[in-house]
Amino acid sequence: MLAPTQRFSNRVENYVKYRPGYPLAILDLLAAKCGLTAAATVADVGSGTGILTRMLLGAASRVYGVEPNHEMRAAGERLLAGHPNFTSVAGAAEATTLPAGSIQIITAGQAFHWFDRLPARREFQRILQPGGWVVLLWNDRNTTDRPFFRAYEELLLTYGTDYAQVNHKNVDEKLLGEFFGPAGYGEASYPNDQTFDLMGLTGRLLSSSYAPETGDPRHAPMLAALQTLFAAYQTNGTVTFDYDTTVYYGQLS
Per-residue pLDDT of 38-52, as tens digits, reads 999 999 999 999 999
For residue 243, the cross-strand partners are: 141, 192
Per-residue pLDDT of 130-187, as tens digits, reads 999 999 999 999 999 999 999 999 999 999 988 877 777 778 999 999 999 999 999 9
**Whole-angstrom Cα distance, residue 128 to residue 41?**
10
Q: Which residues contact 225 (CB under 8 A, 6 or more apart)?
A: 155, 158, 159
DSSP string, 160-216: -SSHHHH-GGG--HHHHHHHH-TT--EEEEEEEEEEE-HHHHHHHHHTSTTSPPTTS
Per-residue pLDDT of 83-127, as tens digits, reads 999 999 999 999 999 999 999 999 999 999 999 999 999 999 999
CA distances from 162 to 2, 167, 205, 223 (A): 11, 8, 14, 17
Phi, psi torsion values for 134, nearest 5 degrees: -115, 135
Phi, psi torsion values for 108, nearest 5 degrees: -145, 105
**Geometric angle at alpha carbon 58, from 128 and 204, rounded to 5°:** 90
Flag whether the pTM goes above 0.85.
yes
User: Domains in the chain, start-ordered, CATH in brackets?
Assistant: 4-141+167-194+243-250 (3.40.50.150)
Residue 248, exposed/middle/buried by CB under 10 A (0-12, 13-18, 19+)?
Answer: buried
